[in-house]
Structure 1
């Protein structure tokens, strides 16, 4: 089959890369088309002899944007005789769903969010998103909680949703440099060095992590925090740090391609996000053996993280108080920290390997195109 990945990406996407390699190993021809400019993802596809094209949307009124992008997708699909389109992210899923009636190819849209839009999107955008998945014929949900939200809160037909976790060839991740890790540990030396990574939005609740650091210091525990990322809340968060007098304790790196290095240098990775579908960065923390602290009842954490066994979970409603109580107990448990981190590594390598989910994709492809793969 000819399989097209249709997405938006300004950087690498190791879940898509892993799928592409796995599909190619099964004898399929692989293509990439993005609604974004050239990126490291295109470079990766070309390095594996896959075709990769891009076309940034023109700035125009919404209906015209839809028509133009539909025409592009239809042209690409017929030009390369595409059999299956895997669409990722709402802008591309929208176009793929609208173009279905003009396509010979079968469209599979992948839903990457659960309830996040309720926190950060306008009612109009939320309605557009709901309409995408209502009109879609075949949907992949990246976690069970995504499917549950779609069925219970958006009225999407459960029969057309298949849960397939994001999965990886983990060797696509470059191992952090040991010398650089040591240098970071020395630069940010503390009894407890924390790290958090992500887009700086209200959804990620970085302000609560800053509050946690402030209170932990007042408990007499020597700690520092590295914040990796950028976003609309950045200046507000920096003001919060200054107002609390923590500019010698909390550090902003901005965007970085070396996320794994920062996480590997930390004693713990903190993730207080109020909404997730499935969190890639937590899995990346597992790759370097850094224990994670996440909120219970968020995303798919409850499915693979057991408190104090292979990770730590704090209250979703009051993560700060919960985390303070946790670290009053574990702040000097170095052996247990290493054991918990190692267990998470084993869990993630087992649960989220691309080999584990490929049978699900085989069944899905067979279902939509009626071809024995």
Structure 2
């Protein structure tokens, strides 16, 4: 098949959507498909990328680390019309997603859409007023419903998201296809103990320190503040525990201020954004991956952390149903007591439970190869339905023409 992927974020950006689309392109090509990506210009992107087309873009006003591109570019549209595409797959509801919809309509192609982001969890970027926030959330639900009901099929990463879309009255076929992770990239055996110690030295971390790790976007919906709020007494009683936050985002300065006010400078460390190629080493530095987020559609960083051999201690969320087994590869929590008990069990318990080893075992099913094969099955189903629909339309047209001949 000739497939076009439309996305507002792509490699070398570091986020779940960019990673998902990058993996999908590479794996679909490995099994014989021709894949084109249409995305935004990104600082630091490679000079040459095979079958990747970028449109001029600028930082998105509300989330400045994300970019928004031109909704329609005639020059690029003329190129797309010559590619003999079989199917269009959008990964955004906005600029490039709109471009993809326009091209699908012009070329009469079937369209698949992956719903990556629960927008009602992000409305705080639009308004600080509760009454307006309720309206914004209502709009987000209606907007999502319209976007999903105007494609041939929707892909979501977890049952949690499928159930949410059903409450929005999405009536199109919804397939659950978890994004795969390049498990080899996060194999702890790739990094020597010397590599890990060298990285720890950069942040004044001692060999005997126990490292709580968060890696991802530093933003309000990730609820990192809840973890920090729980740390003053915990860290006073456990002098060798440190919390390392890897990533950047709009909440960074607020969180740094929280840390200073609680006299936790030197115990809670901010590394800022790190190059994608170094992320595996940062996971290797941790002893436990910690998150207070409930805004994830799948939680790729949880899977990456597990692939790196880290147990998880995370706020209870349905996106973790298939990967987190409390007491076996980590713990979930609903309050501060549960968070601290989970941390103690993983970091200090002598129970003999191989949390890290169990974590690695549990994510082996989420390979990038399986991800691409499952998406390919969705494409095949959509293509069959589209072929039947076109035959039906042709048959109905012939019937109408015959009636007029009489």
For the criterion TM > 0.5, the same-fold answer is yes
CA distance in 2, matches of 1:18, 1:216: 39
Structure 1 residues 265, 100: CA separation in 2 closer, same or farther (over 3 Å shift)? same
| 1:276 CA drift (Å) | 0.8
CA distance in 1, matches of 2:75, 2:44: 19
CA distance in 1, matches of 2:374, 2:46: 24
Name the counterpart of 2:205: 188
Name the counterpart of 2:364: 349
Structure 1 residues 299, 260: CA separation in 2 closer, same or farther (over 3 Å shift)? farther
Structure 2 counterparts to residues 123-162 of structure 1, below 5 A:
123=136, 124=139, 127-152=142-167, 154-157=168-171, 159-162=172-175
Structure 1 residues 179, 104: CA separation in 2 closer, same or farther (over 3 Å shift)? farther
Structure 2 counterparts to residues 1-373 of structure 1, below 5 A:
1-7=1-7, 8-9=9-10, 11=12, 13-37=18-42, 40=45, 46=49, 50-57=50-57, 68-69=71-72, 71=74, 74-91=77-94, 92-114=96-118, 117=121, 120=124, 122=126, 123=136, 124=139, 127-152=142-167, 154-157=168-171, 159-171=172-184, 175-176=190-191, 178-186=193-201, 187-189=204-206, 191-220=209-238, 222-257=240-275, 258-296=278-316, 298-315=317-334, 318=335, 320-333=336-349, 336=352, 339-350=354-365, 352-370=366-384
Q: Helix, strand or coil for the counterpart of 1:139?
A: strand
| 1:116 CA drift (Å) | 5.0
| 1:160 CA drift (Å) | 1.8
Q: TM-score, normalised to structure 2's length?
A: 0.78
| 1:177 CA drift (Å) | 5.3
Q: Helix, strand or coil for the counterpart of 1:90?
A: coil
Q: Helix, strand or coil for the counterpart of 1:303?
A: coil
* Partners of 1:5 and 1:87 within 8 A in 2: yes
| 1:360 CA drift (Å) | 2.9
* Partners of 1:2 and 1:28 within 8 A in 2: yes
* Partners of 1:227 and 1:252 within 8 A in 2: yes
| 1:149 CA drift (Å) | 0.4
Deviation digits for residues 318-345 of structure 1 (CA, Å, limit 9, x no counterpart):
2x221123334454226746x1111111
Structure 1 residues 311, 327: CA separation in 2 closer, same or farther (over 3 Å shift)? closer
| 1:184 CA drift (Å) | 3.3
CA distance in 2, matches of 1:191, 1:51: 46
| 1:23 CA drift (Å) | 2.0
Deviation digits for residues 98-141 of structure 1 (CA, Å, limit 9, x no counterpart):
54321233221111124653554541555434432232222111
Unaligned runs of 5+ in 2: 61-67, 127-135, 388-406
* Partners of 2:222 and 2:293 within 8 A in 1: yes
Bigger radius of gyration: 2
Q: Helix, strand or coil for the counterpart of 2:321?
A: helix
Q: TM-score, normalised to structure 1's length?
A: 0.84
CA distance in 2, matches of 1:313, 1:59: 35
CA distance in 1, matches of 2:73, 2:83: 16
| 1:10 CA drift (Å) | 5.0
CA distance in 1, matches of 2:81, 2:19: 27
CA distance in 2, matches of 1:222, 1:357: 39
Structure 1 residues 121, 101: CA separation in 2 closer, same or farther (over 3 Å shift)? farther
